[in-house]
Amino acid sequence: MTIASPVNLRIAIIGAGPAGLVTARWLRARGMAPVIFEASDDLGGQWNPNGGHSATWPGMVTNTSRIMTAFSDMDHMPGTPTYPSREDMHAYLGRYADRFGLRHAIRFGARVDRLAAAPRGGWVIQSVRNGQAQAQTFDRVVIATGRHQSGDIPAVPGLETFAGKLGVNHSSQYAGPDRLRDASVLVAGCSISALEIAVQLAGAGARVTVAYRRQRYVLPKLMAGVPTEHALFTRAAALAGARLPMAEAGAALKAQVLKASGSPEQYGAFAPDPDIFAAGVTQCQGFLPAVAEGRIAVRPWIAGVRGREVRFADGREDRFDGIFFGTGFSLSLPWLDPEIARTIELGPQGMTLFADSFHPELAGLAFVGLYDLVGPYLPVLELQARYVAGCWGDEGAMPTRAEMQAGLIEARAARNGPPARPMNMVALGFARRAGVEPRTETRPELERALLFGPLSAVSFRLDGPDPLPDAARRTLGAASAFGAIRGGDFTAEEEALLGLLFRPEASAPRQLVEG
């Protein structure tokens, strides 16, 4: 596939959230000048407090640390808490947009109603702004509207009859505990948002019950003072996941989880499946302690609803004032032309693309950030943005049609697996495609930090295109910020894992085992 010079290309991005902003920043770095369509009156996507599709609420904080909820060019302001608030994140994204001159490129209040192929090539975006409809053709379009816009409420017998005064809601509609104090609330689901809402409501005085279809293992946000993603979502863990047999990788992950938080039944919740991949993993600092203290009751899934009465799968019944479903999101692109939707095999849980980014039949169309991850998003979004920008900025970097066809086969098969993928696996995939994976063999002083420290965005500015002069210092700072990495000497546990991942020869540099 031949890619034209980026000079004078007409490029549009749909969405001014984190994915759209970081994509615009890197397209501009490759000489392109994208226009950004944003339906709301402000940037930020989910972190925009007034955004029509935001699933955040007042007082909400991130579930990943400030180091892993940032892009490589800009850290959070000094004094930002370990877990930034919604307002902190909104301000951060505003500063990022201002730093790279992105704000003037955003068409605020421009709602996209349709994206379709143009008759003579390119893509037509039909939008409405200030009541005026407009159709404009672009050579390239990036869809970066986010994965979490359409809340998914599963079918439950009799749910339409629920008569509690607070009604049936999705977690994306949660606006804080004020009107729910002293109410009896059922939170359905075991997602992070479900458990966080349950904990906040229990702390505010509500009577809270949590029901879920399966008991997941529950990680705390902090493990001995270290943010969980700093310890678990590492490069070494990603290499192990790709290299080791599934059972062995699962056993290693389970051992880390049990070491961090124990098993849910120890707190009075249900016992999860012994296979951690079958059970799944969620995260919440306060959920299991609240169950142990009796402030949150747990039940199996909902068998049926009649008025205010909810019957559970174990036969027990209870009366509730309100129900919140924290049961995930369906991928929603309602303005996408049906022919494009058919081509990418768009469904509620995903689509079929090469590297989550391209399709061989849709030249000049890219998708950024429309996948479901376990772990931090912003470092992954930046790596994907750098990959897409690199492909469009250099015709030789674009994958061939044959490569993309082979990638579609792999992507189609992967849709039968878990819907959410570990962020470290996805991050390394994009880093390799973009040519920015750090070379540990040439940086012995950073080897431990790069293998067992957090996959901070700045750690991918060491090698390859666009290195930063202070990347090494900031990478070490990110690894040591909360004590995850102290010094360069590997622990016995780390050495054991390295023995599985690298050739056993004692001579440096380490060499990955093939296969």
**Domains (range + CATH), the chain:** 11-149+331-434 (3.50.50.60), 153-327 (3.50.50.60), 440-501 (no CATH)
Between strands 150-151 and 110-117, the pairing is: unpaired
Query: For the CA atoms of the chain, what is the radius of gyration?
Result: 23
Distances (CA, A) of 65 to 91, 228, 230, 507: 16, 9, 9, 36
Map residue 490 onto helix, strand or coil.
coil
Lowest mean pLDDT among 216-225, 401-410, 481-490, 493-502: 493-502
pLDDT of residue 256: 87
User: What is the predicted pLDDT for the residue at 508?
Assistant: 44
The residue type found at 50 is N
**What 8-state DSSP symbol labels residue 53?**
T
pLDDT band at 503; cut points 50, 70, 90: low
Q: What is the pLDDT of residue 423?
A: 94
Of these ranges, 1-5, 465-469, 495-499, the one predicted with the greatest mean pLDDT is: 465-469
Q: Is the pLDDT of residue 2 over 50?
A: no
Question: What is the amino acid identity at position 242?
Answer: A
Q: Note the pLDDT of residue 510.
A: 52
Question: Residue 496's pLDDT band (boundaries 50, 70, 90)?
Answer: confident
Cis check: omega of the bond before 509, within 30 degrees of 0: yes
What does DSSP assign to residue 212? E
Mean pLDDT score, 386-404: 93
CA–CA separation, 315 and 312 (whole Å): 5
**Tokens coding 63:** 């579930």
Mean pLDDT of 48-58: 85
In angstroms, the CA 126 to CA 148 distance is 23
Q: What is the pLDDT of residues 267-299, one digit of tens each?
A: 999 999 999 988 999 999 999 999 999 999 999
State the pLDDT at residue 507. 43
364, 377, 374, 370: which is closest to 345 by C-alpha?
370
> Strand 309-312 vs strand 317-319: parallel, antiparallel, or unpaired?
antiparallel
Q: What value does the mean pLDDT take over residues 460-489?
A: 94
**Largest CA-CA distance found in the chain, in angstroms, rounded:** 71
Most confident of 46-50, 81-85, 240-244: 81-85
Residue 120 burial (CB count, 10 A): 6
Cβ contact 408:369 at 8 Å:
no
pLDDT the model gives residue 515: 31
With 90 as the cut, is the pLDDT of residue 72 above it? yes
How far is it, in rounded angstroms, from Cα 246 to Cα 294?
A: 36
Task: Round to whole Å and give the CA distance between 145 and 17.
Answer: 7
What is the pLDDT confidence band of residue 1, given thresholds at 50, 70 and 90? very low
At 461, the pLDDT band (50, 70, 90 cuts) reads very high
- pLDDT grade, residue 365 (50/70/90)? very high
Give the mean pLDDT of 311-334. 95
Residues contacting 350, CB < 8 A, separation 6+: 331, 370, 371, 372, 415, 419
Q: How confident is the model at residue 248 (pLDDT cuts 50, 70, 90)?
A: confident
Burial class (CB in 10 A: 0-12, 13-18, 19+), 150: middle
Among 178-182, 263-267, 447-451, 482-486, the least confident range: 482-486
Indicate the pLDDT class of residue 458, thresholds 50, 70 and 90: very high
Please state, in angstroms and rounded to a whole number, the distance separating the CA atoms of residues 320 and 165: 9
Which among 355, 349, 506 is positioned nearest to 419, based on CA atoms?
Answer: 349
The residue among 218, 229, 214, 216 whose CA lies nearest residue 257 is 218
Q: Report CA-CA distances (Å) from 176 to 48, 59, 123, 196, 206.
A: 16, 7, 41, 11, 12
Cα 125-126-128 angle, rounded to 5 deg: 130
Mean model confidence pLDDT for the chain? 92
Structure tokens at 463: 């090698």
Going by pLDDT thresholds of 50, 70 and 90, the confidence category of residue 498 is confident
Distance between CA atoms of 439 and 437, rounded to whole angstroms?
Answer: 6
Q: What is the pLDDT of residue 122?
A: 96
φ, ψ for residue 368 (rounded to 5)? -130, 125
Q: Is the pLDDT of residue 478 over 90?
A: yes
Mean pLDDT of 180-203: 95
* Alpha-carbon gap, residue 411 to 414, rounded angstroms: 5
Q: Does the pLDDT value for residue 86 go beyond 60?
A: yes
